[in-house]
């Protein structure tokens, strides 16, 4: 049975980063250029920041896919809410060095791993805004490891905007001096939102069905601020709504309605409530809590009604498909 009436080979707007679907927007192309420039220096740090869902991971996935394994050894760390010593153990594990024992033994293992291969070692640290000052200092110390006049480790720090404020701390001046390239990923422009959506759809077999209203992309931009993951989430729901209605054209009003429903599903945007709560003798301190609870209940009721409509439509599609067999 094919509920997807648009004939995509696979979903075009999955949340999981996929280097195959990398879209070279203005900001992402510039960020990638900063990464390549930093790597070309062969030492120090490269910093890329951006809001959640801005495309940092997709950017790095593309970078890793293009780095020659014969030239580079890439280690990645995604868990950063650790202290300095624990971070060293994660670095050791990322490069295949022993991670157990005293700190000195772990450091010796890391240095042996870095010196044991002629390839260049690149450490990628995601969610770096959660690192402590001590952990960042450990990374700076590792950047001092050399073999003659050749630095043995480069580090790429990825993080949310808080990372920039963290690095600006007065006691991290030595780390700042080692940052060779830094870039902040902003959102896509309104024109790029359209190009991004069409790029993702073409990559999975889109040939014009469904078509999009010209104004739909402006609505998408307004509700997502051009952040790719937010665009993916909203577009995925718009396509679902369009498929359930068997709509060959996706209108701006459909995008607007879907964005409102998505807000409700996430517990935001509900209005109304128990305006008479105070008149029923509730203590003043509880009025706001009751109001909030009432809004949440109303949002859940609207969400349930929407899901019931979707379920009914799905059941109808099942019945139609069963009758065709």
Which pTM does this prediction carry?
A: 0.77
Nearest to 216 by CA among 255, 247, 260: 255
- Whether the pLDDT of residue 304 is over 90: the answer is no
CA distance 325 to 92: 58
**Percent of the chain topping pLDDT 90:** 66
Q: What is the mean pLDDT of residues 120-132?
A: 94
- Whether the pLDDT of residue 254 is over 90: the answer is yes
Q: What is the pLDDT of residues 203-216, one digit of tens each?
A: 999 989 999 999 99
Q: What is the pLDDT of residues 222-240, one digit of tens each?
A: 999 999 999 999 999 999 9
CA distance 99 to 213: 55
User: Using omega within 30 degrees of 0 as the cis cutoff, is the peptide bond preceding 68 cis?
Assistant: no
Is residue 193 packed enough to be buried (19+ CB in 10 Å), middle (13-18) or exposed (0-12)? Answer: buried
Q: What is the pLDDT of residues 35-62, one digit of tens each?
A: 999 999 999 999 999 999 999 999 999 9
Q: What is the mean pLDDT of residues 92-113?
A: 93
Torsion angle (degrees, nearest 10) of CA 202, 207, 212, 218: 20
φ/ψ region of 225 (left if φ > 0, alpha if ψ in -120 to 50, else beta) reads left
CA distance 111 to 146: 9
Q: How many helices (H) and strands (E) does the chain have?
A: 12, 9
- Whether the pLDDT of residue 102 is over 70: the answer is yes
* Residue 120 binned pLDDT confidence (cut-offs 50, 70, 90): very high
At residue 79, the pLDDT reads 72
CA atoms within 13 A on the CB side of 206: 17
CA distance 144 to 161: 26
Lowest mean pLDDT among 38-52, 101-115, 259-273: 259-273
Whether domain 26-185 has CATH 3.40.50.300: the reply is yes
Q: What is the mean pLDDT of residues 84-112?
A: 93
For the chain, what's the residue count? 325
- Whether the pLDDT of residue 273 is over 50: the answer is no
User: Please, are residues 186 and 54 in contact by the beta-carbon 8 Å criterion?
Assistant: yes
H/E stretch holding 206 reads none
- Each domain of the chain, given as residue ranges in start order, spans 26-185, 190-324
At residue 271, the pLDDT reads 42
Q: What is the pLDDT of residues 65-93, one digit of tens each?
A: 999 999 999 999 987 688 888 999 999 99
At residue 49, the pLDDT reads 96
* Residue 279 binned pLDDT confidence (cut-offs 50, 70, 90): very low
Cross-strand partners of 185? 50
Cross-strand partners of 156? 46, 124
At residue 21, the pLDDT reads 87
CA distance 195 to 36: 24
- Whether the pLDDT of residue 8 is over 80: the answer is yes
At residue 19, the pLDDT reads 82
CA atoms within 13 A on the CB side of 175: 25
At residue 149, the pLDDT reads 84
- Whether the pLDDT of residue 150 is over 60: the answer is yes
Nearest to 51 by CA among 146, 195, 185: 185
Cross-strand partners of 122? 74, 154
At residue 280, the pLDDT reads 41
């Amino acid at each position: 049975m094919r509920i997807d009436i648009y004939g995509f080979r696979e979903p075009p707007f999955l949340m999981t980063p996929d280097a195959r679907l990398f879209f070279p927007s203005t900001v992402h192309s510039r960020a990638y250029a900063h990464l390549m420039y930093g790597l070309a220096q062969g030492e120090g740090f490269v910093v890329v920041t951006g809001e959640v869902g801005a495309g940092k991971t997709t950017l790095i996935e593309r970078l890793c896919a293009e780095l020659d394994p014969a030239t580079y050894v890439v280690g990645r760390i995604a868990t950063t809410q650790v202290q300095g010593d624990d971070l060293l153990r994660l670095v050791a594990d990322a490069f295949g060095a022993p991670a157990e024992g005293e700190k000195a033994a772990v450091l010796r293992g890391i240095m042996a791993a870095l010196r044991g291969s002629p390839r260049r070692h690149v450490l990628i640290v995601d969610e770096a805004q959660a690192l402590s000052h001590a952990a960042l200092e450990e990374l700076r110390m590792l950047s001092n490891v050399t073999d003659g006049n050749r630095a043995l480790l480069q580090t790429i720090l990825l993080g949310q905007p808080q990372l920039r404020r963290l690095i600006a701390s007065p006691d991290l001046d030595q780390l700042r001096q080692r940052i060779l390239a830094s870039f902040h990923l902003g959102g896509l422009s309104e024109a790029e939102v359209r190009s991004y959506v069409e790029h993702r759809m073409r990559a999975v077999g889109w040939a014009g069905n469904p078509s999009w209203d010209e104004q739909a992309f402006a609505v998408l931009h307004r509700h997502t601020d051009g952040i790719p993951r937010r665009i993916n989430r909203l577009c995925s729901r718009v396509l679902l709504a369009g498929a359930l209605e068997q709509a060959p054209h996706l209108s701006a009003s459909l995008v607007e309605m879907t964005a409102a429903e998505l807000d409700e599903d996430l517990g935001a945007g509900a209005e109304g409530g128990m305006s008479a709560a105070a008149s029923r003798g509730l203590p003043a301190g509880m009025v706001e809590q009751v109001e909030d609870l009432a809004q949440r209940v109303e949002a859940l009721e609207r969400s349930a009604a929407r899901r019931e409509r979707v379920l009914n439509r799905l059941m109808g599609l099942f019945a139609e498909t069963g009758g065709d067999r």
